[in-house]
Structure 1
Amino acid sequence: MFVSQLRYSTLLIAVSIGLLNSTLAHSEVETIRFGITSTESSQNQADQWQPFLDDMSNALGVDVEPFFATDYSAVIQAMRFNKIDIAWYGNKSAMEAVDRANGEIFAQTVSSDGDQGYWGLMIVHQDSPYNSIAEILEHANELTFGNGDPNSTSGFLVPGYYVFAENNVDPRTAFRRTLNSNHETNALTVANGQVDVATFSTDSMKRLEINHPDKADQLKIIWQSPLIPSDPLVWRSDLEQEIKNKLQQFILSYGETAAQREVLEPMNWSGFVASNNDQLLPIRQLELFREHSQISSDNSIDDETKQARLSDIETQLENLNNRIQSLSES
């Protein structure tokens, strides 16, 4: 009996310590770290984001610190190593965060026009003689191309498939010179005559019209992509549920007041809606299509290996198609 009582007392002590540690761990959540990719100058984005982060801090009762990075990869890595808790990504980088950094989509942005999506663009200078993708590809070996960040959806993945893969063109070898930069840099270098053609996006164009209207006037759009789902917000899936609940409540209700809409205006957003990882399904399709095209045209791969890899991709595509069909019917 004494042994039983001892075991029971030990169990109570262990449970109490566990509860205490849990309470302490919870009380230690004093800061939320928010990752933001600098698709334009960091100073511009810091000024635009701070009022929103201040409102988030007040609503959650904790400090909210921004983490600005010059490319998507740095924000993905920051989430992977628990340096940030939540981040604003493009769809391509969100896919990387979900697959490799324990990320989970919980919301997506709604544009100031009410759109839950945006479009990738190809731009040239207003005075450029080129007016179509066909003309650009015909003269590619004479031109400098401003490609997007490799983890950018609108700046890299979407034009990579619709402009280049569908035309059996490798931009790395087709152009006289290819550079990779963020959206704002691409636009400014085209406007300044330093790059002949570049990738861009409609949401970045709206921001450029606010921050650099004179430069926006110097751009000409020669291609627009199919609709891309609007940018997702991603949190670490292992974030405490209570913090998740508070974050989601704050995000999904933000934009209801005139003051909040004014805060979101510089980002060209009107609010947010709930989302999940299924938002990435069409992006996954694009990535697999692009990979399939690259492997098909790669003569350095032996036939047996090539067929095995292509078959695997085709199976993944079939599973994706079935998933998308199932969602559309539900």
Structure 2
Amino acid sequence: MKPDRLCHGMPSRARRALCAALCMTFVVGVGLLPVHAANSPAPLTLGLIVTGDTVEKMVENWKPFTDALAKEMQRPVQVLASKDFAEISGALKNGQVQVAWVNNKLAIELVEADQALVFAQMVGLDGTRGYSSVLLARKDSAPQTLAEVISRPGSYTLGAGNKESISGFLAPNYYVFAKNKIDPEKHFKKINRTSHRDNFLAVADGQVDLATNNTADMLRYKVEFPDRMARVKVIWESPLIPNDPILYRKDLPAATQQRIRKFFLAYGRDDAEKATLKNMYDLSAFKASSNYQLRPVADLSLFQALTKAMGSPQDGGDFSATLQQLTQRAARLDTLLNSTRIESQ
């Protein structure tokens, strides 16, 4: 309703005074909102994959870091955290997230789509820039060796990661199962797919016979669940997998990319920042990296795609076309990753 309609029927002096006040309110409200929006920089959204803690705990642990990032960037910083790795990757793809921690496998997809660049890598408390996938079993029951797992199809239950997980799926699928010509879906009595943490607890508590995990998370379980750690043993360990990367969208202004990169690489200079890094994910630092760090996992991903194609029923022509597509993809990835090799050394 217009201000003058509200004033209709009132004495002239009162009507003029009230209408003036109402009109001033409408003018100020309409006039201030665009000015406020124009002076407020758009928030920067950081995407985080959640591998162990709850989403709320993860956001809380990262808050000192994100507050410092907001101060450095002079703009609000929001956090989108999820246990669904693909949700974070998709948010970076559609522009909802500008900077993200994802695993190497999802980073490959983002780099391959020419949407993001790796600029940093997580460094563990012990200074390592990599981890290994492991296969866990209980100390007091079968199986006790990988040979037993391989030789007894249909005997054991497995706790595994989702199919986007490198240490929970991709690495064991290649190094343990594919190399031994095993189809996990047929080899195990049952497979439960969940988080690393839940898989560890399941094998420690005897709910599954075996579980995939990784050496980085095992360090945390040793502190958090010492009694349960005493019940399990590692029966297989993979070659080293690079620590997870940090990416930003390729279309961010170069100056913004540079400020973000500088902040991440400098963080951890005093005791307070070091304590924050430890709480975030048992980190000691972020080190400069590039797309080239994705090389080992790219090879695993290509092998997985080839294995899937070979196992699918198709005629010779379809397989030849699939093989040609994989060959072209491998060549394209080789160019994308090797072009940044000097930066990451």
TM-score of Structure 1 vs Structure 2, range by shorter chain: 0.7 to 0.9
Instruction: Evaluate the alpha carbon distance shift between residue 215 and residue 93 of structure 1 in structure 2; reply closer, same or farther with a 3 A threshold.
Output: farther
| TM-score normalised to structure 1 length | 0.83
Instruction: Evaluate the alpha carbon distance shift between residue 201 and residue 27 of structure 1 in structure 2; reply closer, same or farther with a 3 A threshold.
Output: farther
Residue 312 of structure 1: CA displacement?
A: 4.0
Residue 243 of structure 1: CA displacement?
A: 2.3
Do residues 260 (structure 1) and 259 (structure 2) align? no
Residue pair 2:292, 2:341 contacting (<8 A) in 1 also: no
Task: State the one-letter code of the partner of 1:147.
Answer: A
Do residues 246 (structure 1) and 255 (structure 2) align? no
Residue pair 1:78, 1:84 contacting (<8 A) in 2 also: yes
Alignment of 1:145-184 (within 5 A): 145-184=158-197
Alignment of 1:115-264 (within 5 A): 115-264=128-277
Provide the residue aligned with 1:5 in structure 2.
none
Same amino acid, percent of matched pairs: 32
Alignment of 1:60-139 (within 5 A): 60-100=73-113, 102-139=115-152
Instruction: Evaluate the alpha carbon distance shift between residue 249 and residue 255 of structure 1 in structure 2; reply closer, same or farther with a 3 A threshold.
Output: same
The 3-state SS of whatever aligns with 1:214 is: helix
Residue pair 1:71, 1:182 contacting (<8 A) in 2 also: no
The 3-state SS of whatever aligns with 1:107 is: strand
| TM-score normalised to structure 2 length | 0.80
Residue 36 of structure 1: CA displacement?
A: 1.2
Instruction: Evaluate the alpha carbon distance shift between residue 180 and residue 97 of structure 1 in structure 2; reply closer, same or farther with a 3 A threshold.
Output: farther
Provide the residue aligned with 1:286 in structure 2.
300
Task: State the one-letter code of the partner of 2:265.
Answer: L
The 3-state SS of whatever aligns with 1:288 is: helix
Residue 100 of structure 1: CA displacement?
A: 4.8
1:59 pairs with one of 51, 67, 72: 72
Alignment of 1:23-62 (within 5 A): 28-42=40-54, 43-62=56-75
The separation in 1 between residues aligned to 2:339 and 2:68, in whole angstroms, is 39
Do residues 274 (structure 1) and 297 (structure 2) align? no
Residue pair 2:291, 2:336 contacting (<8 A) in 1 also: no
Q: Which ranges of structure 1 fall in alignment gaps of 5 or more residues?
A: 1-23
**Deviation sequence 1:79-103 (CA, Å, 0-9, x none):** 1222211111111122233335822
Residue 73 of structure 1: CA displacement?
A: 1.0
Instruction: Evaluate the alpha carbon distance shift between residue 67 and residue 175 of structure 1 in structure 2; reply closer, same or farther with a 3 A threshold.
Output: same
The separation in 2 between residues aligned to 1:128 and 1:52, in whole angstroms, is 44
Task: State the one-letter code of the partner of 1:268.
Answer: D
Residue pair 2:50, 2:83 contacting (<8 A) in 1 also: yes
**Deviation sequence 1:210-233 (CA, Å, 0-9, x none):** 333333333211111111111100
Higher mean displacement: 275-284 or 96-105: 96-105
Residue pair 2:290, 2:340 contacting (<8 A) in 1 also: no
The separation in 1 between residues aligned to 2:70 and 2:148, in whole angstroms, is 50
Residue pair 2:142, 2:209 contacting (<8 A) in 1 also: no
Give the alignment's Cα RMSD to 1 decimal: 2.7
Residue 318 of structure 1: CA displacement?
A: 6.2
The 3-state SS of whatever aligns with 2:46 is: strand
Instruction: Evaluate the alpha carbon distance shift between residue 262 and residue 26 of structure 1 in structure 2; reply closer, same or farther with a 3 A threshold.
Output: farther
